[in-house]
Amino acid sequence: MYTYETRIRYSEADCENKLTLGRLLDYFQDCSTFHAEDLGLGVKYMLERHLVWALSSWQIDVERYPEIGEWVKVGTLPYDFKGFIGFRNFWMEDGQGKRLAVANSIWTLLDLKTGKPVKPLQEMKDGYRVEAKLDMEYLPRKISIPKEGDARAPFEITRHHLDTNHHVNNGQYVYIALEYPEEDFEIRRLRAEYKKQAYLGDMFYPVVYKQEGACIVSLNDEKGEPYAVVELTGGR
């Protein structure tokens, strides 16, 4: 288990003075990065071994969005390894220890040279000591896409979408998807399914599916095959 405390910044808030969902995801992603760095299994360690943890799916459930200036604690724990797959929980709680959000994530370890999945090294498994998974509702990784959707304007991937592995960061797919729900739609659950990597110069062809209480965004290639599917659930 790894935790750190921080304070919600003005730059992370929306027009209602609350932390945005995208920034919440960033906190969780940073938490796992800090955890890895403190264990000596961080970015440099992975790049030297030509390895990367690629996110396969997110599920984030939000009970309350904290406000500007509020102190919060962010935590993470790995709870299982199965072959080349790793499983990790996240949570955020307020200054009184009350849960604000909880998350489940599934990761695939890839060899950067071959692009193929590989099993974690023993020293990685020893470092990431698994613990009991959090009490939350665990939904399936795969997201069902409705038949009829609304195609939106395509756009090109630029440098600001990329991370240290030179592909589109998992959070960027969510930031893009957040542009499509109605303005007064309050999101209480995020699910994201990542299907393939996108790189500088690739084109996204978004298709938006709106249902009662949900907005699904499929970010596709020119053939209509999704790079990622993001489901946003909530209401007005």
The list of the chain residues with pLDDT below 50 reads none
Identify whether the C-beta of residue 43 lies closer than 8 Å to the C-beta of residue 170. Answer: no
Predicted pLDDT of residue 25: 96
CATH-assigned architecture of domain 150-235:
Roll (3.10)
Predicted pLDDT of residue 183: 81
Q: Report d(CA 4, CA 88) in Å as an integer.
A: 16
Q: Report d(CA 228, CA 217) in Å as an integer.
A: 8
The count of other CB atoms within 10 Å of the CB of residue 148 is 7
Superfamily holding 2-127: Hotdog Thioesterase (3.10.129.10)
Q: Report d(CA 28, CA 92) in Å as an integer.
A: 8
Q: How far is CA 63 from CA 149, 214, 223, 228, in A?
A: 29, 17, 38, 25
How far is C-alpha 74 from the geometric centre of its chain's CA atoms? 15
E-state strands within 84-202: 85-94, 99-111, 150-151, 155-156, 186-194
Residues in the chain: 236
Predicted pLDDT of residue 235: 66
How does pLDDT run across 63-105, given as a tens digit for each residue?
999 999 999 999 999 999 999 999 999 999 999 999 999 999 9
Alpha helices (H) along the chain: 21-38, 43-48, 122-127, 170-177
Identify whether the C-beta of residue 81 lies closer than 8 Å to the C-beta of residue 130. Answer: yes
Predicted pLDDT of residue 49: 96
Predicted pLDDT of residue 154: 96
The kind and range of the H/E element at 122 are: helix 122-127
Q: Give ∠ CA 64-73-31 in degrees, rounded to 5.
A: 105
Q: Report d(CA 103, CA 91) in Å as an integer.
A: 6
Domain ranges of the chain: 2-127, 150-235
Q: Give ∠ CA 180-186-190 in degrees, rounded to 5.
A: 70
Q: Which of 156, 78, 80, 84 is nearest to 114 (CA)?
A: 84
CATH fold match for the domains 2-127 and 150-235: yes
Predicted pLDDT of residue 184: 83
Predicted pLDDT of residue 165: 77
Identify whether the C-beta of residue 60 lies closer than 8 Å to the C-beta of residue 189. Answer: yes
For the chain, the first-to-last Cα distance in angstroms comes to: 35
Predicted pLDDT of residue 140: 95
Q: Report d(CA 44, CA 64) in Å as an integer.
A: 35
